[in-house]
Structure 1
Amino acid sequence: MQFGVFTVGDVTPDPTTGRTPTEHERIKAMTAIALKAEEVGLDVFATGEHHNPPFVPSSPTTLLGWIAARTERLILSTATTLITTNDPVKIAEDYAMLQHLADGRVDLMLGRGNTGPVYPWFGQDIRQGIPLAIENYALLHRLWREDVVDWEGRFRTPLQGFTSTPRPLDGVPPFVWHGSIRSPEIAEQAAYYGDGFFANNIFWPKEHFRRLIDLYRRRWAHYGHGTPEQAIVGLGGQVFMRRNSGDAVREFRPYFDNAPVYGHGPSLEEFTEQTPLTVGSPQQVIEKTLTFRESFGDYQRQLFLVDHAGLPLKTVLEQLDLLGEEVIPVLRREFAARRPAGVAEPPRHPAAPVPAGTGGD
């Protein structure tokens, strides 16, 4: 089981002080969070990709390349790589290059994003979102596995005798997760290729995501990759902790109430009851995270969102200390003890070191 954190890279005012960090401060903070994640023994750091304010991570490979140079074991991933508006040739080149620089500690999560105006900015039509995702990944998949590619499709110029460089490290492409919060077509795509499916179940009730994950598992087996239980699943989550749960609720409430995505909507208590958001003590985070297995089956990767909604860097680093010291060690033991034989191992490039704390699990 792999545990880590992901960031969406929002630049949001701190509602308790009114101060908004600069873009420079936010970018530096994301780097500090990644370094802290490795320090406290987490396995994965993942960044989103956005091309519009108030977000800053427009170039994930630049950020992850910088982090790769300053870490040794941390798996570096994306929380979204926009398969619809990025050229699949450039994705193939950029992430293979990053894979070499990071000695294999790279995978990526493909998604369509949630910002409609991005499509025309990059010359695409949002009404073609699903066909773009399907066609672009079909090409990307081939570019990493075939030395010479001849290809023709609907959305880009044809390729004749094309070789993507550099080639994947030791001939093994980066592992791909397909991320979706609503599209069965993407679950089907992940199953068809035998890739991972990541359900970022942070905003909607678990019943919605259970349907998507169950579909993915059934179709994974249909395409001959193994049993449904062997499919490779990742989940999102959100936490805010203090050793005293009342302190956690009081401190986090103004951030929740003013968050750009869910602020001014359901109450903190309603949202906590209906989604994976956990605001409380480390023990409460442990108990709720362990219930994910009951809803979604055994899975391979758990990522937590800890740095959004204007939370200051100092507070985020404190969250990582609590995760590393009090939460993740218990979750590792409990998930390992409950996992039946035959469940797939978490994805890892053969050249990459085993992430800290996994013991190869």
Structure 2
Amino acid sequence: MEFGIFTVGDVTEDPTTGITPTEHERIKATVAIARKAEEVGLDVFSTGEHHNPPFHPSSPTTLLAHIGALTERIKLSTSTTLITTNDPVKIAEDYSNLQHLVDGRMDLMLGRGNTAPVYPWFGYDGRKAVELTVEHYHLLRKLWDEEVVNWSGEFRSPLQGFTLAPRPLDGVAPFVWHGSIRTPEVAELAAFYGDGYFANNIFWPKEHYIRLINFYRQRYAHYGHGDPHQAIVGLGGQFYLARNSQDAVKEFRPYFDNAPVYGHGPSLEDFTEQTPLTVGSPQEFVEKTLTFADYFGDYQRQLFLVDHAGLPLKTVLNQLDLLGEVLPTLRAEFAARRPADVPDTPDHASRVAAKMVADAKAAEDTSTEEVHA
């Protein structure tokens, strides 16, 4: 089980002080948060991709490459790489480069994004979002998996005799998650390829995500990748912790009420009751997080949003310290209930090993066919 954090990279006024950080301050703070995540023992740091204010992370691979140079162990990922509005050739190039720079210590999550104006900025029609997702991902896989690509489709110019440079590290593409909050076609795409499926369940009641995750699990098994309970699932979440729950609620309420992602809607109390958000003591956070597997089944990755809504850097770093304190308990409790045949999240080493086994089997099959011929 992997535990980590993700950021949406918002540049938001602190409602308790009226101070809005500069983009420079916010970018530097994100780097400090990633380094702190490694310090407290987390497994994953993940950044979103946005091209509009009030968000800063328009170039995830630049940010992650810099963080990679300053860290040693933590896995680097994205909480959305826009598969719709990015050219698949550029995605393949950028993330292959990142893979080499961090020695395979990365993966990525693809998604459609939720900002409609982005599509025309990059020359695409937002009404074709699902079609773009499917076509772009099919091409991305070909670019990573095949030495020479000949391809034609609806949304970009054809490729003839194209070879990606650099090729993926050790001939193995990065592991891909597909992030979705509402689209069955994305779950189907993830299942077809045997990729991971990430349900960023920070907005809606659990029943909505239960349906999507169960659909993905069934289709994963349908395509022969394993039993439904062996599918690769990730979940989002969010918390704000204090030593006692009353202080947590008092401190977090102004940030929640003004949050650009979910503020000005349901009350804090309603939101915490209906979604994975925990605002309370570390023990309450542990208890609620452990219920996620009861609803969604055993899963491989849990990411938390910790720096949204104008929370100052000092507060975020303190939140990570509190998370680090309960991390051993979370690990032990999830490990105790997890069946032995539920796989870990594939990493670079395991994917290289699987490729070696597959290549050896293919060579053996070829040799057998030649003998019989």
Superposed, 1:118-267 pairs within 5 Å as 118-267=118-267
* Cross-structure match for 1:46: 46
Instruction: Give SS of 1:266's match.
Output: coil
Instruction: Give SS of 2:70's match.
Output: coil
Deviation at 1:261, TM superposition (A): 2.2
Deviation at 1:5, TM superposition (A): 0.3
| CA distance in 2 between partners of 1:315 and 1:347 (Å) | 33
* Cross-structure match for 1:80: 80
Percent of matched pairs sharing the same residue: 77
* Letter of the 1:195 counterpart: D
Deviations 1:65-121 (A, max 9, x none): 000001011100000000000000000010000000001011000000000000000
| CA distance in 1 between partners of 2:350 and 2:234 (Å) | 22
* Cross-structure match for 1:357: none
Deviation at 1:144, TM superposition (A): 0.6
How much is the aligned-residue C-alpha RMSD, in angstroms?
0.9
* Letter of the 2:338 counterpart: R
* Cross-structure match for 2:4: 4
Contact kept in structure 2, 1:206 and 1:275, CA below 8 Å: yes
Contact kept in structure 2, 1:103 and 1:351, CA below 8 Å: no
* Cross-structure match for 2:331: 332
Deviation at 1:43, TM superposition (A): 0.4
- 1:100 equivalent in alignment to 2:118: no
| CA distance in 2 between partners of 1:17 and 1:6 (Å) | 24
Deviations 1:171-202 (A, max 9, x none): 11100000000000000000000000000000
| CA distance in 2 between partners of 1:155 and 1:302 (Å) | 34
- 1:343 equivalent in alignment to 2:352: no
Runs of 4+ displaced beyond 4 Å: none
* Letter of the 2:27 counterpart: I
Instruction: Give SS of 1:263's match.
Output: coil
| CA distance in 1 between partners of 2:201 and 2:96 (Å) | 29
Instruction: Give SS of 1:240's match.
Output: strand
| CA distance in 1 between partners of 2:145 and 2:108 (Å) | 16
* Cross-structure match for 2:284: 284
| CA distance in 2 between partners of 1:33 and 1:208 (Å) | 31
In structure 2, the gaps of 5 or more residues are 352-373
* Letter of the 1:213 counterpart: I
* Letter of the 1:332 counterpart: R
Contact kept in structure 2, 1:104 and 1:351, CA below 8 Å: no
Deviation at 1:347, TM superposition (A): 2.0
| CA distance in 1 between partners of 2:60 and 2:264 (Å) | 30
More deviation in 342-351 or 16-25?
Answer: 342-351
Deviations 1:143-165 (A, max 9, x none): 11100010000000000110011
* Letter of the 1:180 counterpart: S
| CA distance in 1 between partners of 2:169 and 2:264 (Å) | 47
Instruction: Give SS of 1:350's match.
Output: helix
* Cross-structure match for 1:89: 89
* Letter of the 1:350 counterpart: A
In structure 1, the gaps of 5 or more residues are 353-361
| CA distance in 2 between partners of 1:234 and 1:154 (Å) | 31
Instruction: Give SS of 2:234's match.
Output: strand
Deviation at 1:351, TM superposition (A): 8.1
Contact kept in structure 2, 1:176 and 1:196, CA below 8 Å: yes
Superposed, 1:11-30 pairs within 5 Å as 11-30=11-30
Contact kept in structure 2, 1:175 and 1:195, CA below 8 Å: yes
Deviation at 1:264, TM superposition (A): 1.9
* Cross-structure match for 1:356: none
Deviations 1:241-293 (A, max 9, x none): 01111110000001111111222211101000000000001111100000000
Q: Work out which of the two has the higher radius of gyration on C-alpha atoms and give 1 or 2.
A: 2
* Letter of the 1:333 counterpart: A
| CA distance in 2 between partners of 1:139 and 1:262 (Å) | 34
- 1:322 equivalent in alignment to 2:322: yes
Contact kept in structure 2, 1:96 and 1:166, CA below 8 Å: yes
| CA distance in 1 between partners of 2:319 and 2:261 (Å) | 21
* Cross-structure match for 1:358: none
Q: Which has the higher contact order (CA 8 A, sep 6+)?
A: 1
* Letter of the 2:331 counterpart: R
Instruction: Give SS of 2:150's match.
Output: strand
More deviation in 261-270 or 313-322?
Answer: 261-270
* Cross-structure match for 1:68: 68
* Letter of the 1:144 counterpart: W
| CA distance in 2 between partners of 1:13 and 1:219 (Å) | 43
